[in-house]
Amino acid sequence: MNNRLRVLRAERAWSQQDLAERLEVSRQSVNAIETGRYDPSLPLAFRIADLFGMTIEDIFQNPSKETPQ
């Protein structure tokens, strides 16, 4: 699953550790989500969306549903 987590985190000048602490997960979990090696659980996806004041769909994109550019 593609996501904008790295960009959103960088816009706020947060380290992976900063974000991990806000989400109450490990830094390794944040890294795995950012690199697409791990898809977050639905509760974690909601926490991420709430933290950034966005919807889940604004942060995470299903690659099979993306429109060609």
Q: 37 vs 13, 26, 40, 46, CA distance in Å?
A: 23, 14, 10, 19
Say yes or no to pLDDT of 67 above 60.
no
The predicted pLDDT at position 19 comes to 98
Mean pLDDT value across residues 45-68: 88
3-state SS, the chain, equals CEECHHHHHHHCCCCHHHHHHHHCCCHHHHHHHHCCCCCCCHHHHHHHHHHHCCCHHHHEECHHHCCCC
pLDDT in tens, 8-52: 999 999 999 999 999 999 999 999 999 999 999 999 999 999 999
Domains of the chain: 2-59 (1.10.260.40)
pTM: 0.86
